[in-house]
């Protein structure tokens, strides 16, 4: 039976859903056209699909995107961190234009950009003595996993239940029929003793433990860095049982100049990266110590033979070079994440002032709104626990808030499935204040439904 909170939230959404459909006829038509044209399902990113149709965007600049129906929206989603520098940052446009004018595709051969970019990664991330480039974070994680299997001679990998490491690498219940058929050992986040025992049990054939150095469960990524001592214990177990520790920092590398690993003080064997470093262009990569990367040398007697026409293409290499040189210095990184921490605190202050079941969790410029009144993070003797409420109302609330912010305040507050905010650097103080005003308006407008939700989630349940 549906709870009173869910029924109230669902009723509150009815008019917003109707308004969404009524005000976006061109987006509806574009979605229908895509289906008729042969795009399978009408979208190439079904994981974030929102029924009855997604918004279609036709123009953008800085932090403002324009829909097919002319609505100008402020982007707090940042394409799940890929859009860290807003839309079409000028230094990247200039660099790409220069690369286009001087031969961008020469058979996939070397260019002068690759060495410059590699040096910047190895300088910024001490855990990486050598790197390889790819086109996406998914590819980067695949390469890192295969590298661990090649170097160790073992086959299995360990992942969190609910983990996402790219289009075809999921953990536990999230895995689907298209997942790469690694033999996976799935463990829950947070219980260090259980994870260490699982590493020991499968040590004979365990090639790698791959994880984001943040809190994960099958329903939500908090992007709140995991405790240092917890990660250090897993690090020690990987050393003891000769398996690679891979940190997937495709998203979290933005949290400090040296990534989340710098914040927690734990060094992985390999690190994967991607998304925002391309400044809007496809880019990914991975790196590690000599032990793990030396076999990518074509002259090595046991070389790992790899290809990839676009893995070091001059256009994307020029874009990454521009990002490091103009958009993402260590100081810019620190300042932006400090702004994110301030914004997270402001959200939590307002939620407390209005006694609303809304908590901004995360680290730096990665924030997730969790719609419950009880605590989100707890602890026990063996690790850290996420105490997330599992009522239907908790998963309906993000959709209500997303629709409210989009329709009433012209803001993309994450997506309808999760109010996940990956803050772009180009947001202004006025943008942040506008978001906070919309948050307060949502608290006031939907007070009855949210008060019921608060009662239902006063004590969170796993």
Q: Do 294 and 300 form a contact (C-beta atoms < 8 A)?
A: yes
Handedness of CA 245, 249, 252, 254 (dihedral sign): positive
Active-site position among 120, 154, 223, 275: 275
The DSSP symbol for 280 reads: T
Active-site position among 113, 164, 182, 420: 164
Angle at 344 between CA 440 and CA 161, to 5 degrees: 110
Instruction: Round to whole Å and give the CA distance between 117 and 126.
Output: 15
Task: Tell me the three state secondary structure of residue 102.
Answer: coil
Q: Nearest CA to 16 among 452, 422, 449, 349?
A: 449
Q: Do 258 and 108 form a contact (C-beta atoms < 8 A)?
A: no
Angle at 133 between CA 257 and CA 246, to 5 degrees: 60
Say whether 248 is catalytic.
Answer: yes
Q: Can the peptide bond before residue 52 be classed as cis, meaning omega within 30 degrees of 0?
A: yes
Q: Do 141 and 208 form a contact (C-beta atoms < 8 A)?
A: no
Active-site position among 120, 156, 191, 248: 248
Q: Please count the helices (runs of H) and the strands (runs of E) in the chain.
A: 14, 18
Instruction: Round to whole Å and give the CA distance between 383 and 246.
Output: 20
Token output for 392: 């239907």
Mark out the alpha helices in 275-327 (DSSP H runs). Answer: 290-293, 314-322
DSSP 165-205: -STT-B-GGG--TTS----EEEE-TTBHHHHHHHHHHTGGG
Q: How many CB atoms lie within 10 A of CB 35?
A: 13
The DSSP symbol for 323 reads: I
Q: Nearest CA to 227 among 421, 371, 382, 387?
A: 382
Say whether 352 is catalytic.
Answer: no
**Burial per residue of 41-80, b for 16 or more beta-carbon CB atoms within 10 angstroms, e otherwise:** ebbeeeeeeeeebbbbbeebebbbbebbbebebbbbbbbb
**Burial per residue of 206-245, b for 16 or more beta-carbon CB atoms within 10 angstroms, e otherwise:** bbbbbbbbbbbbbbbbbbbbbbeebbebbbebbeebebbb
H-helix or E-strand spanning residue 286: strand 284-288
Active-site residue list = 164, 248, 275
């Amino acid at each position: 039976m549906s709870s009173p909170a869910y029924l109230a939230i669902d009723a509150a959404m009815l008019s917003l859903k109707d308004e969404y459909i009524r005000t976006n006829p061109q987006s509806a038509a574009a979605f229908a056209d895509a289906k008729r044209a042969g795009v399978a399902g009408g979208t190439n990113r079904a994981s974030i699909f929102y029924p009855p149709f997604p918004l279609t965007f036709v123009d953008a600049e800085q932090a403002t995107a324009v829909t097919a129906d002319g609505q100008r929206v402020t982007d707090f989603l940042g394409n799940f961190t890929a859009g860290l520098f807003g839309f079409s940052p000028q230094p990247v446009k200039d660099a790409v234009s220069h690369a286009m004018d001087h031969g961008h595709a020469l058979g996939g051969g070397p260019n002068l950009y690759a060495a410059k970019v590699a040096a910047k990664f190895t300088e910024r991330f001490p855990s990486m003595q050598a790197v390889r480039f790819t086109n996406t974070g998914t590819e980067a994680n695949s390469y890192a996993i295969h590298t661990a299997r090649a170097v160790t001679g073992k086959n299995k990998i360990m992942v969190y239940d609910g983990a996402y490491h790219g289009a075809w690498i999921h953990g536990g219940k999230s895995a689907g029929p298209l997942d790469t058929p690694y033999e996976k050992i799935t463990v829950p986040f947070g219980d260090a003793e259980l994870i260490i025992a699982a590493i020991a049990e499968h040590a004979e054939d365990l090639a790698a433990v791959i994880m984001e150095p943040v809190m994960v469960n099958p329903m939500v990524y908090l992007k709140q860095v995991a405790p240092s001592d917890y990660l250090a214990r897993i690090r020690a177990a990987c050393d003891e049982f000769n398996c690679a520790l891979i940190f997937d920092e495709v998203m979290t590398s933005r949290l400090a100049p040296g990534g989340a690993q710098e914040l927690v003080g734990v060094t992985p064997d390999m690190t994967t990266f991607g998304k925002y470093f391309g400044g809007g262009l496809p880019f990914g990569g991975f790196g590690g110590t000599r032990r793990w990367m030396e076999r990518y040398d074509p002259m090595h007697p046991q070389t790992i033979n790899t290809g990839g026409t676009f893995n070091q293409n001059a256009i994307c290499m020029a874009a990454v070079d521009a990002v490091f040189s103009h958009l993402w210095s260590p100081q810019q990184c620190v300042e932006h994440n400090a702004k994110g921490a301030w914004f997270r605190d402001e959200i939590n202050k307002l939620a407390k002032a209005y006694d609303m079941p809304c908590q901004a969790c995360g680290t730096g410029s990665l924030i997730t709104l969790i719609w419950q009144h009880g605590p989100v993070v707890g602890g026990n003797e063996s690790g850290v626990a996420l105490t997330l409420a599992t009522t239907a109302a908790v998963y309906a609330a993000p959709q209500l808030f997303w629709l409210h912010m989009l329709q009433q305040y012209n803001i993309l507050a994450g997506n309808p499935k999760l109010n996940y905010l990956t803050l772009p650097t180009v947001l202004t103080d006025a943008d942040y204040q506008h978001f906070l005003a919309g948050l307060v308006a949502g608290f006031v407008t939907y007070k009855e439904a949210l008060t019921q939700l608060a009662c239902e989630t006063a004590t969170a349940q796993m």
